[in-house]
Amino acid sequence: MIRPPHWARSRSHLRGLSILVLVGVGLTTLGCPHRARETHPPLNVPQRFSTGTKGTPPNRWWRAFKDPHLNRLVSRALVGNLSLRAAWDRLDQARAAARKAGAAQYPQLDATGSANGTLSSAGHSVSATLGLVASYEVDLWGRVSATRNAARLDALASQQTLRAAAISLSAEVVLTWFRLQDGLAQSALLGKQLALNQKVLTLVVFSFRNGQGQAADVLQQQQLVESAQGELAGLSAQTQVYKHQLAILLGHPPGQKLGLTRRPLPTLPPQPSTGLPSELLRRRPDVRSAYFKVAAADRQVAAAIADRYPRLSIAANGSVTGGFNGQMFTSWLANLAANLLAPLFDGGARRAEVQRTRAVWSEALNNYGQTILVALREVEDALARERHQGRTIVSLEKQLLLSKSVVKQTQYNYLHGADTYLRVLHATIRHQALERRRLQAERVLLEYRVSLFRALAGGWKLRRTRTKTRAKARARAKVRVKVKARPKRERSRDANPKRPHGK
């Protein structure tokens, strides 16, 4: 059999390869089987909120309370909180996955090498082969680009989730701080009430010894004093719990001292601008995260559909071979090939994957709509609660004035024998309870304002800051590496500095 010459064989290979490439190019003219869909909310978004004004609320909203100590606490939490640092790690994972998915759009180049030797009576010989292997998949139906875009959108969703976590963390720090300060203020108020009740107890005992009172009056006043002492102990325990919570939010053990002191609760800042609901959807990071998840799921559908179509890949390799006899790498070989892979039968696996990704997209779309509803509800709830809480505070102030008058009148009647001490005791208990409710109502109003800030916040540009503990650990690790790398003789000289080097 007469074989064709080398140049004829090469031309036949190139002709076959060109035909295969032309077939692949012809397939690309059919278009992408699935185009990206625009993501629209699966509900009718209202035009405006029930109350509120136009404008953009502040991002670093806690600064509106104008408390430098509170600002420092939030800054410390944004650096040291372990949950937020874990969210940073998840963002790094998502970004690395996006880079990995995007690498498939570029050719892959690998180096190969091998060596072998023979030994016989005539002598020995050694030969070596070095080569390069390149491969590339032509993205006919957009499967590779869809996979890359899905990973990029997942990374964007993780970034927005990180911003939402930072907003939640700052809100938790502010709320815990307010509750701690309210607990300290409640303890101080209860301490004053306890001191007043003890003075009244002394007067009641004195009146009883002089025959002007009854034993029941003494017992009732003693019960009031003991009740105040029990409540004071409970407040002290709750205050300690708030300190522990705040320490955990800052990334410290619960028993570590944070240098916290009693400070008055800040005054209520002006109500922030709510803006329009459509602006809220573009601003809130949790809503944006849900939006990116829907878009990423749509790209996964495109990748699953494209996986049902043929794939075209191109591979090229070249190698040189030679021996170690002064004439190295005298022989070379190059090869170029194209492969077209078309799925024929897979038991319905690819079709099932398309159905699964479409269901994932539908789930993400419904979650997106639910996130929008929750965002709108949080704003409306905060507005309604704050509005009614203001009315509650006004009513409590009026009740305090009336209860103070009742206490004075009942005390006057008791001193003049026109009333029993039981009336005085009940009036005193109600008045002291109103004083504590009034103080607590101010803290609740601040909490509702925090809820409104949290519902309207759009996040800010976060910067990842390494803590001092981790920086010191890295420095110590570098020092250990340097010490281990030094020669043994040099370390022995440093250990005995007075010893002569030659001995």
Does an H or E element contain 489, and which?
helix 488-495
Pick from 243-252, 330-339, 343-352, 471-480: least confident: 471-480
Fold classified for 11-105+141-317+353-461: Outer membrane efflux proteins (OEP) (1.20.1600)
Considering only residues 83 and 39, tell me which one the structure prediction assigns the higher pLDDT: 83
> How far apart are the C-alpha atoms of 441 and 395, rounded to whole Å?
11
In the prediction, which pLDDT does 5 show? 44
pLDDT at 489 over 80: no
Burial tier of 413 (Cβ tally within 10 Å: 0-12, 13-18, 19+): middle
Which residues, 6+ apart, have CB-to-CB distance to 489 below 8 Å? none
Structure tokens at 148: 């890359």
Which 8-state DSSP code applies to residue 258?
A: -
In the prediction, which pLDDT does 324 show? 57
> How far apart are the C-alpha atoms of 465 and 249, rounded to whole Å?
16
Q: How many CB atoms lie within 10 A of CB 371?
A: 20
The sign of the CA dihedral 218, 222, 223, 225 is positive
pLDDT at 236 over 70: yes
* Cα→Cα distances 131→125, 134, 174, 321, Å: 20, 10, 63, 9
pLDDT at 30 over 60: no
pLDDT at 485 over 60: no
Q: What are the phi and psi torsion angles at 185 (to 5°)?
A: -70, -40
By three-state DSSP, how is residue 68 classified? Answer: helix
Most confident of 117-121, 326-330, 454-458: 454-458
Burial tier of 260 (Cβ tally within 10 Å: 0-12, 13-18, 19+): middle
In the prediction, which pLDDT does 289 show? 95
pLDDT in tens, 348-387: 898 999 999 999 999 999 999 999 999 999 999 999 999 9
In the prediction, which pLDDT does 474 show? 56
pLDDT in tens, 186-202: 999 999 988 888 888 88
Mean pLDDT of 68-78: 93
Q: Give pTM, 2 decimals.
A: 0.79
Query: How does residue 58 score in pLDDT terms, banded at 50, 70 and 90?
Result: confident
DSSP state letters, 259-321: -----PPPPPPPPPP---HHHHHHH-HHHHHHHHHHHHHHHHHHHHHHTTS-EEEEEEEEEEE
Note the helical H segments in 104-214.
143-209
In the prediction, which pLDDT does 137 show? 84
Q: How many CB atoms lie within 10 A of CB 74?
A: 24
In the prediction, which pLDDT does 25 show? 46
By three-state DSSP, how is residue 358 classified? Answer: helix
Average pLDDT over the chain, rounded to whole? 82
Q: Any idea where the domains of the chain sit in the sequence?
A: 11-105+141-317+353-461, 466-503
**What percentage of the chain exceeds 90 in pLDDT?**
40
In the prediction, which pLDDT does 108 show? 87
Instruction: Specify the residue for token string 């639910």.
Output: 370
Mean pLDDT of 135-156: 90
Query: How does residue 468 score in pLDDT terms, banded at 50, 70 and 90?
Result: low
Q: What are the phi and psi torsion angles at 134 (to 5°)?
A: -120, 140
CB 224 within 8 A of CB 428: yes
pLDDT at 11 over 60: no
Structure tokens at 314: 């191109």
CA-nearest of 158, 138, 146 to 96 is: 158
CB 346 within 8 A of CB 172: no
> How far apart are the C-alpha atoms of 188 and 50, rounded to whole Å?
39
CB 150 within 8 A of CB 36: no
Considering only residues 9 and 303, tell me which one the structure prediction assigns the higher pLDDT: 303
Pick from 137-146, 280-289, 405-414, 483-492: least confident: 483-492
pLDDT at 31 over 50: no
CA 469 to chain centre: 21
Mean pLDDT of 67-85: 93
Q: What are the phi and psi torsion angles at 144 (to 5°)?
A: -65, -45
Pick from 8-22, 220-234, 326-340: least confident: 8-22
pLDDT at 147 over 50: yes
Cβ-count burial 111-148 (b if 16+ within 10 Å, e if not): eeeeeeeeeeeeeeeebbbbbeeeebbbbbbbbbbbbb
pLDDT at 500 over 60: no
Considering only residues 128 and 34, tell me which one the structure prediction assigns the higher pLDDT: 128
Mean pLDDT of 227-232: 88
In the prediction, which pLDDT does 476 show? 61
Query: How does residue 81 score in pLDDT terms, banded at 50, 70 and 90?
Result: very high
Q: How many CB atoms lie within 10 A of CB 456?
A: 27
In the prediction, which pLDDT does 174 show? 96
Note the helical H segments in 416-467.
421-456
In the prediction, which pLDDT does 497 show? 41
Q: What angle do CA 253, 256, 261 make, to 5 degrees?
A: 130
DSSP state letters, 219-252: HHHHHHHHHHHHHHHHHHHHHHHHHHHHHHHTTS
Q: What are the phi and psi torsion angles at 319 (to 5°)?
A: -150, 155
CA 261 to chain centre: 29
CA-nearest of 448, 499, 145 to 307 is: 145
pLDDT in tens, 391-443: 999 999 999 999 999 999 988 888 777 777 888 888 888 999 999 999 999 99
Query: How does residue 499 score in pLDDT terms, banded at 50, 70 and 90?
Result: very low
> How far apart are the C-alpha atoms of 174 and 451, rounded to whole Å?
11
